Structure formats: C-alpha cells, structure tokens
Amino acid sequence: MRGVTPHPARRRYRKVVTAATAGVAVGALLSALSPAPAAGATAPARRAPLQQAFTDASARYRVPESVLLGVSYLESRWDTHHGLPSVTAGYGPMHLTDARTALADFPQRGDGGEDPRGNEQRPLDDVGLTTRTARALPAALTTLDRAARLTGLRAADLRQHASANVQGGAALLAQAQKSSGAPLSSDPAQWYGAVARYSGADDTATAASFADDVFQVIRDGIARTTDDGQQVALAAHPGLTPHRAQVHTLGLHDTDRDGTECPWTVACEWLPAPYTEYGDKNYGNHDLADRPHDQSIDYIVVHDTEATWDTSLQLVQKPDYLAWHYTVRSADGHIDQHVRTKDVGWHAGNWYVNAKSIGVEHEGFLTDPGTWYTEAMYRASARLVRHLAQRYGIPLDRQHILGHDNVPGTTSAYIAGMHTDPGPYWDWAHWFRLMGAPFHATSGPAGGLVTIAPDYDANRPAYTGCTTAGDTCPVRGSEAVRLYSEPREDAPLVRDIGLHPAGDSTTGVNDTGARASTGQQYAVAERRGDWTAIWYLGQEAWFRNPPTEPTALYGHGWVVTPKDGRTDVPVYGRAFPEAAAYPAGVPVQPDAPLPYKLLAGQRYVVGEATHGEYFRAVTFDAAQHVVVRGRQVYYEIQFGHRVAYVKAEDVTVLPSEAGFSPAGTFPRAGA
C-alpha cells in the first residue's frame, strides 16, 4: 500500500482443473477415490482424509456435501494453510474466523516506505500517516467461536485440525439454514440463502456474488491437490439452479453502486475519497484529470493495504492522507471504488506511474497474518482488473499489470523506500488464470526469453523478517524465484546496488534485490545443466530450472540492447519529456538516471514504447493542471524485479531469438 504504519514491513502455482476439462478430470479422480469392486482381492481405495471429512460432516449436520465443498473451495481452495490465519483471520479450509487469536499471534505491521505520490514537487510531510485503532470485532471476524459452541469442539482444534474445521463450517451452514426457516434439505438448490449468509457480507449484492461463485463451482465441478498433498474433488452438477431469491430474506442492506466503474459480475459500492483543500494551500488526496483523453492509462497496479478493511476505508476518506481507485475485501470479494478512473490516485510511489495507472488495493498484509488470500478475493479482483484492462486496452501481462513491488523508484534516493507489496505470497499464476490470461510457453528453447512460472505450492523458498529482523518466516508456497550470482544454491545472491549500495541482497521477505516474480519475462543469458541465467540489473542472475521440474516457460518477444559502440546506457525510473517540450511556467523535470546501467551485450524484454510525458498537478485548481508531452521515445523494460525505462535513442530493438543459441548464450559485444 502506501505505508499505513511507518514500521518496517513484515510481511501459491498448483494445477487447477479448468471448467472445460473438469468433468473428465473429476470423474477420474472420483473413480480413484471410490471403493474398488467387491469381487476379487482388490482392497478399497483410500479416500483422502479431507475428502472424507466433508462426507462425514455432511452426514452429521445434514448439509449437502457439494455445498460444503463449494463453500470451502471459494474460501480456501480446500487448503489447510497449516493452521496459519488468512488476511481476515480465517482458519482452515472453511475459513473460520478468530481475529483475536490471529492478532495476538501475528501482530500486523505496515510495510512503510515512500511517499506514494512519488512527486518531489510537494514535500513528504504533506502525506499524513495514521495507525490502526483498536475497536470491537464484528461477528464476521469471530465465526470460530460460534462454531465451537455449535459443535462442542475446542477452538484450538477448529484452528489446527482440518476435519474439525470442516465440522465447524458445516454447523454454521446448518444454523444459517435453520435460522431462515428453511429445511435441512438434501437438495443443494435450497441452500443459496445459507451460503450467502456464510459469506459474512452485510449487503445483498456481496452475499449474492459469493453464493453465485459457490454455485458456479458446484455446477462446473473441480479437482485439485491441496497444500498438504491431498486430492479433493467436487463432481459437476451442470443443471443445478439455486433459489437465488432466498438472499432477499436475509435482511441485508442494499449497496449504492451508482457511479461505480465496476463490472456487473462483482459487488461494488461507491465510497468517494475527498478532493478538498486543507491547511495552508494543501489538498488531497488525489488529482483531478481527464484520462484517457489527456493521458493514456497504461498500467494497473496491484497492492495490498497493509491494514484491515475498516482502517483502509477510514484512511482513504481522509483529505490529508492518500487515495487509490479500488479496494477489494478479503473475506467475500466486495469492492469499494474511491476515485474515478479518469482521475489520478496517489498510490504507487512513482508520479509517472501514478499518472498512467489505476491502483487496486487488496485487504491484506504482506506477511503474517496475511499468509493467504481467499478465493473470493482473487475472483472478484480478477473480474475487476479484466474489466478495466478491456475498457482501457491494457494488455494482461506483467509488463502492464504491476505489483506495487514492481514499480521503480523515480530517483536513486527513492529506491530503498519503495514498497514491496503484494509480496512473494500473492498467487499471480492463479489470478491470471482467473482473468482468462494464463501464462504459457510461446516458443521452444531457442526463443531467447523465459517467463517465470514456478509451481506455487511446491516452490517454497525460505524468507526471513516476517516478525522481527532475522527470524524465519513460516514455510509456504511462493510465486517468486530466488536469483544467484553463480549456478549453485550456496552462491551469493545477485546484488541490487540501488537497494543495497554497500551490501548484499538478503532472504528478507521485503528484499526484492534478488527475486524474479511469476509472469515476469527476462532475456536468457546462459544455460548450464539445470540452471538458467537471465539478464537482471546489469548482471547474470541464475535460478534453478531443471527440465523435469521447470520454474520457467520458454518464450520469444522483443528485447533491447545498447546500440553499437555504446558500452552502457542509462536506466530511468520514469519516462519524462525532453527539456524542450516544457511550456513556460512549468519547471523542467530532470532525467535523473538510476544508479544502474544497461551494459553492452545484455538484453532486456520490452514491455511497451511510450513518448515522454509529465502531468503537472501541484495545485487544487484542476484548471491549472498541465500534461506535457515530448517527442522523446522510451522503452519500458523488465530490468530487475521492478520495471525501468530506457531512451529509444540509446538502444537497438531486436527479436529475442536473434543471435540466440539454444545452448543458451549470446555473442558478446565485440565477438
């Protein structure tokens, strides 16, 4: 986010069966899980304990098993998360919430850092910081206590044991069904209202959206292997039509989505950020503009809030704080819009990126207790971002859909303070699949590029610093691949001279200096056995990529390299116009190259070409805002973990396969 607290930060690729193949895959898996024929000596096949837990809880609490499985999938994708809580303090496959325990065991911290406006034209102290305040916990954050009372099971067991957790979820669903006066029917269609109630949402649209997703999963069927290696399946019920009218008997309030720019497939509400003056000529917390007419929208920036939902909404309504465009709630995927997409939010820490982007916050914490996000959040977020990308012509790739941790510092002084959310636990591969844009190979080994794509659940690099400096974070799936200076795991990590001018990269959860993220594309520099080297921050960066268990996909595309005769070219954190483009009265913004260099013989993937542009907005009066456009062309490149910009006049653009050997080397400069 933007740094809700000034403290240092604390901070999943599993093959999910798609709807198109779910019937075949689910049938095969169910066959494997079902008893073998009685005749002969073949012993009955053992069912996964978690699958059996759903069957047992269904029988005990008279909740259709398909409903239990559907609700659990939307909450957790059936993962146990090893007893660790979700962003919203949910435990286990049924996401039973126990906020008091989660807050006590995993105190929440912000990730601190930069002025999210990323504009040196206003001082840093124009941006206020407010810490989270204590308050009574709502019922939606204490469902585990209620499940304990209904089942007679200990709270600790409900948190730590999946079978108990499933019982607790079944008991809550049965209670919701009975409280509405509906029978404990064996027909899943009769359970729409109870499922909507289970979401914890207090408005009709969000509860209905959650229930619609659950019943879509039930109709499609799904099968996957969970984070603890168990195979679980839900057979498809293609003709199921739930009784959607039940949601209107729950007494929930209606939302005001008037004026929102959301797809109708999500629950969305307008909660405006204030555009007001305060103090001595200060104003906040965003800038009025007329995008895309005055400037194109080229990026969507993904954040986590580093705050709870309530606190995030309080902050975005403070005129002396900061504003972003959307916030997505973890528990149920409800979305609030705060700033019109035509206007510029203060969220990314880089004024050029702010002026060219839409900021989407997700309720959560980069680390504990934000150890996992719900499926409901991923689905709602994917629908929103896909809608925005289609509306503004933004490609669904990692050069245009950025994490806050991929946004570069505007100058050398800003690099160390740039934020690191959503961090290494955000499941980029799953989220892009939900958007209908999965990462895939686009060539064979001779293409010259790789797309980072580890198996999220199996990829478990050790991180430190989740609670205190040097501590070891809980081991869990990660989207990030660690980069070494040599092709061996005991070699030093590659260096980031901007982030660590006098030291080495670390395994810290917030240290992005030696990390490649799922979906990012890099030019291949060399291959040796199970190892692949990519060009990264001016150096070769090695990662394990064995053919039998690849962590990257082959690809091809366009790359830049220094023009002939150039030993190096400067790299920038923004694409501002040349001095001659600025009109009278608008101060010329300096080039301000970063401390890195793009060296001769090296290649970096091109994201897009753009003319230099600067949005001058330092006064409350929007009539005085100016967009300065230059003739200088820049290329956005994937330079390290973060993107960067180079001037077109300094580089040559080549197809990635040009001069590339399948053995994995390029001819060096002068060869």
Residue 595 has pLDDT above 50, yes or no: yes
Per-residue pLDDT of 5-16, as tens digits, reads 333 232 222 222
3-state helix, strand, coil in the chain (%, to 5): 25, 20, 55
Beta-bridge partners for 645: 572, 636
Q: How confident is the model at residue 136 (pLDDT cuts 50, 70, 90)?
A: low
Q: How confident is the model at residue 115 (pLDDT cuts 50, 70, 90)?
A: low
Is pLDDT larger for residue 2 or for residue 364? Answer: 364
Task: Over range 280-294, report the average pLDDT.
Answer: 93
Cβ–Cβ < 8 Å for 408, 642: yes
Task: Over range 170-178, report the average pLDDT.
Answer: 98
Task: Over range 113-139, report the average pLDDT.
Answer: 52
pLDDT at 669: 37
Is pLDDT larger for residue 259 or for residue 546? Answer: 546
- Residue whose C-alpha is closest to residue 434's, from 298, 265, 599: 265
pLDDT at 471: 86
Per-chain mean pLDDT for the chain: 88
Task: Over range 20-31, report the average pLDDT.
Answer: 37
Per-residue pLDDT of 189-211, as tens digits, reads 999 999 999 999 999 999 999 99
Residue 266 has pLDDT above 70, yes or no: yes
pLDDT at 118: 65
Domain ranges of the chain: 22-249, 561-655
Cβ–Cβ < 8 Å for 349, 111: no
Per-residue pLDDT of 433-489, as tens digits, reads 999 999 999 999 999 999 999 999 999 999 998 877 788 888 889 999 999 999 999
Is pLDDT larger for residue 320 or for residue 486? Answer: 486
Which has the minimum average pLDDT: 150-159, 252-261, 321-330, 346-355? 252-261
pLDDT at 578: 97
Task: Over range 249-254, report the average pLDDT.
Answer: 93
CA distances from 635 to 74, 608, 646, 652, 668 (A): 40, 6, 5, 10, 22
Q: How confident is the model at residue 121 (pLDDT cuts 50, 70, 90)?
A: low
Chain Cα centroid distance, residue 623: 36
Residue 128 has pLDDT above 60, yes or no: no
Q: How confident is the model at residue 258 (pLDDT cuts 50, 70, 90)?
A: confident
Task: Over range 371-375, report the average pLDDT.
Answer: 86
CA-to-CA distance for 85 and 98, rounded, in angstroms?
8
Ramachandran angles phi, psi of 580, nearest 5°: -65, -15
Is pLDDT larger for residue 40 or for residue 133? Answer: 40
Residue 98 has pLDDT above 90, yes or no: yes
Which has the minimum average pLDDT: 153-162, 250-259, 291-300? 250-259
Per-residue pLDDT of 625-664, as tens digits, reads 999 999 999 999 999 999 999 999 999 999 999 988 766 6
- Residue whose C-alpha is closest to residue 401's, from 424, 381, 380, 375: 381
pLDDT at 671: 32
pLDDT at 169: 98
- Residue whose C-alpha is closest to residue 120's, from 619, 620, 624, 618: 618
Per-residue pLDDT of 33-84, as tens digits, reads 333 334 444 444 578 899 999 999 999 999 999 999 999 999 999 999 989 8
pLDDT at 6: 30
Instruction: Give the predicted TM-score (pTM) of the model.
Output: 0.90
Per-residue pLDDT of 561-576, as tens digits, reads 999 999 999 999 999 9
- Residue whose C-alpha is closest to residue 209's, from 386, 200, 259: 200
